[in-house]
Amino acid sequence: MPAPSEPEKYSIDEMMDRLKSRPEEDPLHDGELVTRADGSQAIKVRKRKRRSHQPHKELEKKTRRTRMIQVSGALLLLLLAAFSVGSAIVYSNSAPFREGVLRMIRETTGSQVRMEEFRVNPSHAVAGRLEFTWPEDGILRDLTVRGVSASIAPAFFFGKSITGEEITCADGILTLGPPAGLATSGPAGDKPSPIHFNRYAITRFNVLLGDAARPAASLVDSEASFQKDSENGRPQLLLNRGHVQLPGWPKIRIDRAHLEFRDREVDVVGLRLLHETDNRGVLEMSGTVSPHATDRPSTLDVRMESFLLSGIAGPEIGQLLAGRIDTQSKLKSNYLAFTPGSQTAANLEVSFRNASNSSFNVQGFPFLAQLALMLDDKWYAQPVFDNEANGSLRRQGATVTLEDLYFEQKARMALRGSLTIAADRRLGGTLEVGLTEAMLKASGHPKLNAMFGPADEGFRWLALSISGSGAKPADNFLQLADAARPAKPTAADESGNNPPSFEDLTTPE
């Protein structure tokens, strides 16, 4: 905006005068004033000479050139890496590389190996099926795994070693057998293994001991994880879930198991088992197994807590004696002994008592129904013992023996004796029935009174022979009743009404 003292408009002459009278304080340093043909004036600027040396321009060019070289080098390295990886993958899927992998597996495991559907990608090596077969001089017989996937390290592509974090398998079957002698096969001494992974895992793991058609023991549908280097330096095997099957035994579930390997022995740090259908009770085992010692038994300690008796004694016993048991300390008891490689079945010895807050039911025996009828008390048909119930259990294969049985319900009844379920499922044994003197007198039956012996430990006892089967037990109660000779009635008895006979009481209406 023009100053107030100056006019807002100028004529052409005035503007020319102003240009001619340019103040001396604004000299034209960068050019000279020239007058055009039309009389107008302009400043003619002299051309500047370019300097040949410009540091900042040269620095920019140098920086640009360096970046171009770096980008080109990175692209070249990337292309070389891609080409190398591609070449390595192509080579690792070739037959020569596959043979090299099989050779390393044979050297590490000491077995003959067969591999199917082997493929390699940049991060994993996979195989549809792997089969291992060992000589019979060791406990390993054969292993078949499917759906194998290994996370591999870059060294794998150079064919020098097979290393990585983990190998996983969808399912696997391992067959074990007694060693035929000292193992001579296997990886060589202290030579470093070309195969090393931190963890080996099988989602569905089966183990067969002995003949695959009729195994002496088997583990079915378990989840297994093997770590070669654990915290204490020992290889360890962890199992979760699954079933343990022994010929003649009830099916037992695995809750979890922890095994550690040292030299030629296996430490069973913990083996926790459950009943097939019950989660309340537990059966735990621990100890050391010597699988190569075929001339001496291996022993595991056994502990039970609130475990169903039928879960270890079998359903036949469970139909007669039903209850939960705890192991109780007793010399030379509470163990499982077996000899690796022997055809003799494992031997289980357990001393037990009824679990806390648990009772024992006795049922199914014919003499119970007879007692309930003669004593006019339905309790005796299926007596419940919650005061005391204990005994010992011995199991060898399919044969189960219950010894030192003693059940007592105060002032009502006691049972003691032994029972055996043989391999052919036949039931045998002897049970002594104890009734109090007051109960016998209250019954008013001379024959019943005559059947029981003298008092011992607060009860009068009657010995019965048990036979039949678990599904249909039998006893000789009626035969003993028929053979009983009641004492002659006293004068006081003769003056009263005659009590009903045993035949009258037991004859159905």
String of DSSP letters for 225-290: EEESS-TTSS-EEEEES-EEE-TTSPPEEEEEEEEEEETTEEEEEEEEEEESS-SS-EEEEEEEE-
Q: Which of 22-36, 209-223, 456-470 has the highest mean pLDDT?
A: 456-470
Cα-Cα end-to-end distance for the chain: 137
The structure tokens listed for 65 are 């050139």
Confidence of residue 402 (pLDDT cuts 50, 70, 90): very high
Angle between helices 95-109 and 55-92 (to 10 degrees): 70
Residues of the chain above pLDDT 70, percent: 81
- DSSP 8-state class, residue 25: T
Q: Could you please report the per-residue DSSP string of 352-387?
A: EEEPTT--EEE---HHHHHHHHHTT-GGGGS-EE-S
Question: Which string of b and e fits 31-51 if b means at least 16 CB within 10 Å?
Answer: eeeeeeeeeeeeeeeeeeeee
Confidence of residue 216 (pLDDT cuts 50, 70, 90): confident
In the chain, domain spans: 340-509
Per residue in 137-156, pLDDT (tens digit) is 778 889 999 999 988 776 66
**In the prediction, which pLDDT does 495 show?**
47
Q: Are 204 and 223 in contact (CB under 8 A)?
A: yes
Grouping H, G, I as helix, E, B as strand and the rest as coil, residue 306 is: coil
Residues of the chain above pLDDT 90, percent: 43
38 vs 253, higher pLDDT: 253
Residue that the structure tokens 């390393």 belong to: 104
77 vs 406, higher pLDDT: 406
Q: Are 288 and 282 in contact (CB under 8 A)?
A: no
Nearest C-alpha neighbor of 459 from the set 421, 414, 503? 414
305 vs 497, higher pLDDT: 305
> Can you name the residues that pair with 413 across neighbouring β-strands?
409
**In the prediction, which pLDDT does 174 show?**
93
Confidence of residue 84 (pLDDT cuts 50, 70, 90): low
**In the prediction, which pLDDT does 442 show?**
86
311 pLDDT more than 90: yes
**In the prediction, which pLDDT does 20 show?**
67
**In the prediction, which pLDDT does 109 show?**
87
Q: Are 445 and 374 in contact (CB under 8 A)?
A: yes
Per residue in 40-76, pLDDT (tens digit) is 777 776 666 555 666 777 777 778 778 887 777 777 7
**In the prediction, which pLDDT does 155 show?**
65
Q: Lowest-confidence range among 193-197, 346-350, 391-395?
A: 193-197
Nearest C-alpha neighbor of 145 from the set 109, 120, 98? 109
- CA separation for the pair 382, 361 (Å, rounded): 7
Mean pLDDT of the 488-495 span: 52
Mean pLDDT of the 161-180 span: 86
**Letter for the amino acid at 340?**
P
448 pLDDT more than 80: yes
**Letter for the amino acid at 158?**
F
84 vs 234, higher pLDDT: 234
Grouping H, G, I as helix, E, B as strand and the rest as coil, residue 483 is: helix
Question: Which string of b and e fits 154-178 if b means at least 16 CB within 10 Å?
Answer: eebbebebbbbeebbbeebbbbbbb
Confidence of residue 285 (pLDDT cuts 50, 70, 90): very high
- CA separation for the pair 475, 365 (Å, rounded): 7
Confidence of residue 299 (pLDDT cuts 50, 70, 90): very high
Mean pLDDT of the 430-449 span: 89
Confidence of residue 492 (pLDDT cuts 50, 70, 90): very low
**In the prediction, which pLDDT does 158 show?**
63
184 pLDDT more than 50: no
Mean pLDDT of the chain: 82
Grouping H, G, I as helix, E, B as strand and the rest as coil, residue 133 is: strand
Cα diameter, the chain: 177
4 pLDDT more than 60: no
Confidence of residue 185 (pLDDT cuts 50, 70, 90): very low
189 pLDDT more than 50: no
- CA separation for the pair 233, 1 (Å, rounded): 93
288 vs 24, higher pLDDT: 288
Nearest C-alpha neighbor of 140 from the set 88, 113, 177? 177
**In the prediction, which pLDDT does 244 show?**
92
Mean pLDDT of the 489-502 span: 50
**In the prediction, which pLDDT does 157 show?**
62
User: How many other β-carbons are positioned within 10 Å of the β-carbon of residue 246?
Assistant: 20
Mean pLDDT of the 238-259 span: 92
- CA separation for the pair 415, 229 (Å, rounded): 55
348 pLDDT more than 80: yes
- CA separation for the pair 405, 352 (Å, rounded): 10
104 vs 283, higher pLDDT: 283
Sign of CA dihedral 139, 142, 145, 148: positive
Confidence of residue 337 (pLDDT cuts 50, 70, 90): very high
Confidence of residue 88 (pLDDT cuts 50, 70, 90): low
463 pLDDT more than 60: yes
- CA separation for the pair 336, 289 (Å, rounded): 11
- CA separation for the pair 63, 68 (Å, rounded): 9
**In the prediction, which pLDDT does 496 show?**
47
466 vs 79, higher pLDDT: 466
85 pLDDT more than 80: no
The structure tokens listed for 471 are 């599904």
Residue that the structure tokens 């010692």 belong to: 293
Q: Are 198 and 166 in contact (CB under 8 A)?
A: yes
Nearest C-alpha neighbor of 253 from the set 307, 322, 330, 297? 307
Mean pLDDT of the 471-485 span: 92
